[in-house]
């Protein structure tokens, strides 16, 4: 696949950009003509005392000013349109690339980084695309055009201008590049400060309990000091720009007058031309100051463009392989055959095999980090195994179209996700599920009662992450979501940890008796939660340490038995 670059998006609109630039050039030139016309009026027309001609040229000047105005407005608006269309397209593409990244790519980039690429980076880009077209084009035109036009009027004076322009440009570039470095380190200092505030906000109870407020305050003083000194350094550096630029341009203007005096004295120049030159200096001064403003924008924008195109160029390696779709005739509905997998080289599962028939339930149990959730991630094809085969309904899951595969599942993940939307929409979750199905799913999930008890029932809004519902209520809504589309396979990853024992037990019973054809896959910490399952996998450090029914495991699997013992001990307190 060809590499996508941000420039491709921009160059799609090159016609419009070209037209806009032409208009901008025309407008800017009209503006540059003003001082020359003025010099002409003073030097040539006024001495002839030709009043009508003087007024005619005055009107021509006015027309130039109007053209400059209209041209610039039009060009700016065209530029805004280009910036808008480009940004819209890039942002949409970036969002869909982000959603279609594979899980390992998401892990690598991390979600907060993806969020900031979508928000601040696209914003910087939008800013830059607009700014460059508006100011970034205007300033070079003014500089180059100004020098070119003045050469036609009075070449020697133009040399003074020509000498000063590169000097100005160098100074602006030098200071801005220093400024960017300083602002980056300032940003780092600010990040530390923000982290401190966040840290202390969350730990305020501990801080108060340990009477640590003075300690924290003096700790913050150091961090604050660091921010302040960074800020001061950056401010002092950037503060040089404007006095130095002002001084150089004003000195240049003085030079023009002195050189001009010699030229006038030798009859090579006229006084009005000197006035025109002083005007050019003022125009150029303003342009250079504005370009020093957009410099930071450009460097920010191009850094952002890099970060964006990095995502756009990521290819999801998990493509469908229909050639693997030979059907194996067997009554196994879910099967793992010698599956081995690691996250970036650190092994998570090795040689895992198991299978369940249609409608059978599966419990997965084991210590933290033993690979329970990894099994689910592989089954949903968030990752491909390093070796081995996973089959669902007799077909290698790599042969499925992604949607076809995932539509078979209803899933509740650990710390699962609720949207700031109504209860109904959270259960429906963008699928074609009728209101009555939503309600019956909520009933099965033991969520109907508390939902109906709220003022607006199923239309009650959730706050972001559902903070207006309790942990147990959230889990029940999530289970309702998983049941709503009548899945073939129901995955519950530690999905009832916040439920009280009674509700949890009731829920389990309901699921088993009402969804006989659904394969329930249940991950849990405690044996009491999975002992009902037809098959249980006991995982230990990524390996299957035991596989069978509860009774079989009690008989044959030592780790399982141990776990059972410690858990009942903990629960009964018999060791007290």
Q: How far is the CB of 169 from another protein (least distance, A)?
A: 19
- From 146-154, 239-247, 434-442, 515-523, span contacting another protein (CB under 8 A): 239-247
* 3-state class (DSSP) for residue 10: helix
> Where in 79-98 is the site for another protein (CB under 8 A)?
79-81, 83-85, 87-88, 91-92, 95-96, 98
Q: Which two tokens stand for residue 417?
A: 């996700």
428 or 448: whose CB is closer to another protein?
A: 428
> Where in 521-550 is the site for another protein (CB under 8 A)?
525, 528
Collect all residues with Cβ–Cβ distance below 8 Å to 288 and sequence separation of at least 6: 139, 143, 168, 169, 172, 245, 249
- From 149-157, 301-309, 343-351, 461-469, span contacting another protein (CB under 8 A): 461-469
Residues facing 548 on adjacent strands: 536
Instruction: Say whether residue 222 binds another protein (CB under 8 A).
Output: no
Q: Indicate which single residue of 5, 21, 104, 106 sits in contact with another protein (rule: CB under 8 A).
A: 106
165 or 275: whose CB is closer to another protein?
A: 275
> Where in 394-433 is the site for another protein (CB under 8 A)?
402-403, 406-407, 409, 411, 413-414, 416-420, 429-431
Closest CA to 115 of 311, 316, 314: 311
d(CA 412, CA 511): 14
d(CA 45, CA 187): 58
> Do 527 and 567 form a contact (C-beta atoms < 8 A)?
yes
459 or 562: whose CB is closer to another protein?
A: 562
> Do 65 and 30 form a contact (C-beta atoms < 8 A)?
yes
Instruction: Say whether residue 149 binds another protein (CB under 8 A).
Output: no
Q: Is 402 exposed, middle or buried, given 0-12, 13-18 or 19+ CB atoms closer than 10 A?
A: middle
CA separation, residue 163 to residues 32, 143, 352 (Å): 19, 12, 75
Instruction: Say whether residue 126 binds another protein (CB under 8 A).
Output: yes
* 3-state class (DSSP) for residue 494: coil
Q: How far is the CB of 178 from another protein (least distance, A)?
A: 16
Give me the 429-458 binding string for another protein, x by CB under 8 A, dash otherwise.
xxx---------------------------
Buried b (16+ CB within 10 A) or exposed e, 465-497: ebeebeebbbbbbbbbbbbbbebbbbbbbbbbb
328 or 431: whose CB is closer to another protein?
A: 431
Instruction: Say whether residue 195 binds another protein (CB under 8 A).
Output: yes
Instruction: Say whether residue 220 binds another protein (CB under 8 A).
Output: yes
Torsion of CA 369, 341, 544, 371, to 10 degrees: 20
Q: How far is the CB of 407 from another protein (least distance, A)?
A: 6
Q: How far is the CB of 571 from another protein (least distance, A)?
A: 5
Q: Indicate which single residue of 73, 148, 173, 324 sits in contact with another protein (rule: CB under 8 A).
A: 73
> Where in 296-355 is the site for another protein (CB under 8 A)?
none
Alpha carbon distance, N-terminus to C-terminus of the chain: 66
- From 12-20, 299-307, 326-334, 498-506, span contacting another protein (CB under 8 A): 498-506
Q: How far is the CB of 49 from another protein (least distance, A)?
A: 6
254 or 327: whose CB is closer to another protein?
A: 254
Buried b (16+ CB within 10 A) or exposed e, 45-57: beeeeeeeeeeeb
Q: Indicate which single residue of 146, 301, 363, 472 sits in contact with another protein (rule: CB under 8 A).
A: 472
Instruction: Say whether residue 194 binds another protein (CB under 8 A).
Output: yes
d(CA 361, CA 521): 6
| Rg of the chain, C-alpha, whole Å | 36
Instruction: Say whether residue 69 binds another protein (CB under 8 A).
Output: yes
Give me the 29-68 binding string for another protein, x by CB under 8 A, dash otherwise.
--x--xx-xx--xx--xxx-x-x--xx-xx--xx-xxx-x
Residue ranges of E strands in 393-432: 395-396, 409-412
37 or 147: whose CB is closer to another protein?
A: 37
* HSE-CB for 565 with a 13 A CA cutoff: 9
Q: How far is the CB of 564 from another protein (least distance, A)?
A: 10
Q: Indicate which single residue of 11, 232, 313, 327 sits in contact with another protein (rule: CB under 8 A).
A: 232
Instruction: Say whether residue 103 binds another protein (CB under 8 A).
Output: yes
Backbone φ and ψ of 231, nearest 5°: -65, -40
Closest CA to 130 of 90, 80, 93, 164: 80
108 or 328: whose CB is closer to another protein?
A: 108
Binding residues for another protein, how many (CB under 8 A)? 166
d(CA 243, CA 131): 24
Instruction: Say whether residue 130 binds another protein (CB under 8 A).
Output: yes
> Do 150 and 161 form a contact (C-beta atoms < 8 A)?
yes
Give me the 249-288 binding string for another protein, x by CB under 8 A, dash otherwise.
-xx-xx--xx-xxx-xx-----xx-xx--xx--x------
Residues facing 34 on adjacent strands: none
């Amino acid at each position: 696949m060809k590499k996508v670059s941000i420039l491709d998006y921009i160059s799609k609109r090159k016609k419009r950009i070209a037209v806009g630039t032409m208009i901008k050039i025309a407008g800017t030139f009209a503006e540059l003509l003003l001082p020359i016309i003025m010099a002409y009026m003073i030097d040539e027309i006024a001495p002839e005392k030709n009043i009508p001609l003087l007024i005619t040229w005055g009107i021509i000047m006015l027309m130039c000013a109007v053209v400059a105005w209209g041209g610039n407005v039009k060009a700016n608006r065209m530029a805004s349109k280009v910036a808008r269309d480009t940004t819209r397209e890039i942002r949409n593409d970036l969002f869909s690339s982000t959603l279609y990244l594979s899980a390992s790519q998401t892990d690598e980039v991390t979600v907060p980084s993806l969020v900031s690429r979508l928000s601040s980076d696209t914003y910087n880009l939008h800013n830059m695309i607009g700014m460059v077209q508006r100011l970034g084009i205007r300033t070079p035109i003014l500089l180059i055009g100004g020098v070119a036009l003045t050469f036609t009027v009075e070449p020697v004076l133009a040399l003074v201008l020509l000498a000063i322009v590169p000097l100005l440009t160098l100074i602006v570039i030098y200071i801005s590049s220093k400024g960017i470095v300083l602002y980056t380190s300032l940003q780092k200092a600010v990040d530390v400060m923000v982290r401190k505030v966040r840290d202390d906000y969350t730990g305020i109870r501990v801080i108060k309990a340990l009477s640590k407020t003075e300690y924290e305050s003096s700790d913050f003083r150091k961090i604050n000091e660091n921010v302040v000194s960074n800020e001061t350094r950056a401010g002092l550096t950037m503060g040089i720009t404007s006095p130095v630029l002002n001084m150089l341009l004003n000195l240049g203007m003085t030079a023009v007058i002195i050189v001009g005096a010699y030229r006038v004295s030798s009859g090579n120049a006229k006084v009005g031309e000197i006035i025109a030159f002083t005007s050019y200096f003022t125009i150029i001064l303003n342009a250079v100051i504005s370009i020093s403003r957009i410099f930071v924008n450009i460097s920010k924008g191009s850094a952002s463009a890099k970060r964006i195109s990095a995502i756009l160029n990521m290819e999801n390696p998990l493509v469908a392989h229909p050639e693997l779709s030979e059907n194996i005739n067997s009554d196994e509905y879910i099967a793992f055959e010698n599956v081995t997998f690691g996250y970036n080289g650190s092994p998570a599962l090795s040689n895992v095999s198991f299978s369940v028939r249609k409608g059978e339930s599966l419990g997965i149990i084991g210590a933290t980090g033993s690979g329970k959730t990894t099994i689910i991630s592989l089954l949903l094809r968030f990752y491909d195994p390093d070796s081995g085969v996973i089959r669902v309904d007799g077909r290698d899951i790599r042969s499925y179209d992604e949607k076809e595969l995932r539509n078979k599942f209803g899933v509740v993940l650990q710390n699962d996700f609720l949207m700031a939307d109504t209860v109904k929409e959270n259960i429906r979750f963008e699928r074609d599920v009728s209101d009555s199905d939503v309600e019956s799913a909520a009933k099965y999930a033991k969520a109907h009662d508390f939902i109906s008890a709220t003022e607006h029932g199923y239309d009650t809004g959730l706050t972001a992450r559902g903070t207006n519902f309790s942990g147990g209520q959230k889990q029940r809504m999530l289970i309702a979501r998983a049941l709503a589309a009548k899945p073939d396979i129901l995955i519950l990853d530690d999905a009832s940890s916040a439920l009280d024992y009674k509700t949890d037990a009731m829920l389990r019973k309901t699921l088993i008796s009402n969804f006989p054809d659904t394969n329930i896959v249940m991950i849990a910490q405690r044996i009491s939660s999975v002992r009902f399952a037809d098959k249980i996998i006991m995982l230990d450090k990524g390996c299957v340490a035991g596989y069978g029914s509860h009774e079989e495991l009690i008989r044959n699997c030592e780790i399982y038995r141990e776990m059972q013992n410690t858990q009942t001990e903990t629960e009964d307190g018999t060791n007290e």
